[in-house]
Amino acid sequence: MPDGAPVTAVEETYTISQLAEAFELTPRTIRYYEDEGLLTPRREGQQRVYTHRDWARLKLIMRGKRLGFTIAGIKDFLDLYEVGDAQVPQMRFLLSSARDRIATLEQQLRDVQQTLVDLKEIEGLVVDHLARKGALDA
Amino acid sequence: MPDGAPVTAVEETYTISQLAEAFELTPRTIRYYEDEGLLTPRREGQQRVYTHRDWARLKLIMRGKRLGFTIAGIKDFLDLYEVGDAQVPQMRFLLSSARDRIATLEQQLRDVQQTLVDLKEIEGLVVDHLARKGALDA
DNA sequence: CCTTACGTTTACGTAAACGTAAAGTGAGAG
DNA sequence: CTCTCACTTTACGTTTACGTAAACGTAAGG
């Protein structure tokens, strides 16, 4: 292996509009996430260069949004994934944050399940009602 | 049974601040929900009088909020519970609305479950890390 | 060189979900 | 009658999560 050759292949990168299209966001939104500290792409000249790591973060961001979290809440959540080099006091904080979030998510899980039960009952009622009227086609 | 006696007992009612306290909301918020058509209390003079039905609706509203729905979205959702006297075209619409919502909730269910998996893994890592440092007390 | 395409910063605009202050109403206590 | 207290309406203020317009940089293509 020649001297100084990088072990990892040339990492694939993305422009802001590639990310935007992939996630169905606008560039404006992605820059906003940067302002809020959710993404920190490097610069090449003045242009932003995104890596596969930013891609992964965006996936988490989208999931957080579907779950109804605020951007600030999502940032806190993303920080939990950065456990690598934390010191003990910081770790204790992370642990308690993670556990808080687990608790609210478990509440949310119950809410979703109960709402699904409700909605499926409604669905049954409506289907039934339509059947009695012989209007169940389509 | 005496003439004209009501079959149902005198229904229990609530003032706005009773509801506010019970659900940890402000009266302002509850009036706002009325402006948006989520609640329609009757009036006694100028005062709002809430019944057990409004109580039930508020429970659904709170659940909707925990799930991250918008107020307008929650209103649509509440309307689904009013299936009683709908006509066939309206029912078809209700059915499709309910099914749409079921779909997004099932996505949300998957999101919550996956996030819980992630977070519990993080929790495990952190606990582990703290253990190796012999800092697991408290 | 000019245009086109994509990127950038700066900055004001907007919708949603309330907060908050101002000013008035009605019923009961003293 | 006055005071208080809870309730009311009206209306402007605030935060979040972007949209949108202006003005500019830069590289590629004709």
pLDDT in tens, A16-28: 999 999 999 999 9
The pLDDT, as a whole number, for residue A83 is 74
Q: pLDDT tens, B73-120?
A: 999 999 988 877 778 888 888 889 999 999 999 999 999 999 999 999
For residue B16, count other CB atoms closer than 10 A to its CB. Answer: 22
Q: Are A83 and B115 an interchain contact pair (Cβ–Cβ within 8 Å)?
A: no
Contacts 24+ apart (CB under 8 A), A69-78: A69/B68, A71/A33, A71/A36, A71/A38, A72/A36, A74/A38, A75/A36, A75/A37, A75/A38, A77/A101, A78/A38
pLDDT band of A59, cuts 50, 70, 90: very high
pLDDT at position A64 is: 95
- The answer to whether A126 faces chain B, any CB pair under 8 Å, is yes
pLDDT at B5 over 60: no
Q: Which of A24, A126, A63 is nearest to B102 (CA)?
A: A126
Q: How far apart are CA B125 and CA A130, in angstroms?
A: 53
Q: Which residues contact A80 (CB under 8 A, 6 or more apart)?
A: A94, A97, A98, A101, B119, B122
- pLDDT category at A4 given cuts 50, 70, 90 is very low
Nearest to A94 among B63, B86, B126 (CB): B126
B118 CA to chain A: closest CA distance, Å? 9
The residues with which B13 forms a beta bridge, in sequence order, are B51
User: What integer pLDDT is reported at residue A137 of this predicted model?
Assistant: 65
Confidence of residue B70 (pLDDT cuts 50, 70, 90): very high
A45: pLDDT confidence band, cut at 50, 70 and 90? very high
| Each residue's pLDDT tens digit, A75-134 | 999 998 887 777 888 888 888 999 999 999 999 999 999 999 999 999 998 998 889 887
Cα dihedral B102→A111→A64→B28 (10° resolution): 110
- Rounded mean pLDDT, B37-62: 96
- Residues in reach of strand C, judged by a CB distance below 7 angstroms, are A 15-18, 27-28, 31, 46-48; B 26, 28-29, 32, 36, 45-46, 65, 70-72
- Mean per-residue pLDDT of chain B: 89
Q: Which region holds residue A24: left if phi is over 0, alpha if psi is between -120 and 50, else beta?
A: left
Q: Which residue spans within A33-126 are E strands per DSSP?
A: 42-44, 47-51
A41 CA to D24 C1', in Å?
22
Q: What is the CATH number of domain B1-82?
A: 1.10.1660.10
